[in-house]
Amino acid sequence: MSEVKPNRLHPGDIVGVIAPASPPNQINLQRGIEFLKGLGLRVKVGKSVEKIYGYLAGSDQDRLDDLHAMFLDSEVKAIFCASGGYGTARLASNIDYEIIKANPKIFWGYSDITFLHTSIRQETGLITFHGPMLGSDIGKEDTHAISKQGFQQLFEPTDVSYTERFSPLETVAEGVASGELVGGNLSLIVSTLGTPFEIDTKGKILFIEDVNEEPRSVDRMLNQLQMAGKLDEVVGFVIGDFCDCTPKRELTLTLEEVIDHYVLSANKPSLKGFMIGHCNPHISIPLGVQAVLNTYDKSLIVESGIL
């Protein structure tokens, strides 16, 4: 499916805020909304954002209605997710993707939002954005300025150039890879397998990150992707931040040993150490656009995601 880039933002634009997964921290969310206003944007908040239904921000229908409403609202030029957690996969089969096709616009989030990044891209071609969320990240008092700077890519078409000026990068397998950048949270990527939204990795650069997963859990998930043929199909690997993925037992492999095993088995150009994921700072990137990964100069260049 051909890529569809959303239009850029302009000061004065109206943007929407939704919670398609778990309930956000309301205090942090309000600070996140003030941040958007500080960018010169006006904000509409979805009806389910303040709801709590166990570990979900409202019922599936509540959250689905908000998603549809924001895409249908011609005044809304971008949609920002308040938080992750759990729940977006429950929506995927009931989303009217024709609404999104007819009303392409910026869609921003990460973590549990990975399932929607994948389903929306593969059903509509829409470029989406993997970036820090309002309640989970931007509204926290210690949020790094670099995390906030990433929103500027929504106002002016600019390639994202990630080099070691952001963080030390380590080569796992040498080479240069070019292709569409896909992926996100490893747990959510694996959860697409066997569904209508199974991630397509053929000829793609695969980005992965995760949080609170022991090395043995990361091993299990990468092994499943390998057995499903997904790792052999990629042209390169971007290894993001694996936050608090520390072992809880004495007999273990390290996270590095686990990741290196699967990446080296695939033998595709790969770099690790990217501050993309559950980290602070968190560098924002578009997904579904063309990218070039170069281990020789340790860089990742990602094409702009907007028009």
Residues with a known catalytic role: 111, 209, 278
Please give the Cα distance from 278 to 257 (Å, whole number): 21
* H helix count then E strand count, the chain: 10, 14
**Cα dist from 182 to 107, 178, 186, 268, 305, whole Å:** 15, 12, 11, 15, 13
Q: Are strands 290-294 and 176-185 parallel, antiparallel or unpaired?
A: antiparallel
For 166, list phi and psi in degrees, rounded to 5: -90, -40
211 class by beta-carbon count within 10 Å (0-12 exposed, 13-18 middle, 19+ buried): middle
Per-residue b or e along 92-120, where b marks 16 or more CB atoms closer than 10 Å to that residue's CB: beebeeeebeebbbbbbbbbbbbbbbbbb
Closest C-alpha among 285, 291, 193, 279 to residue 237: 291
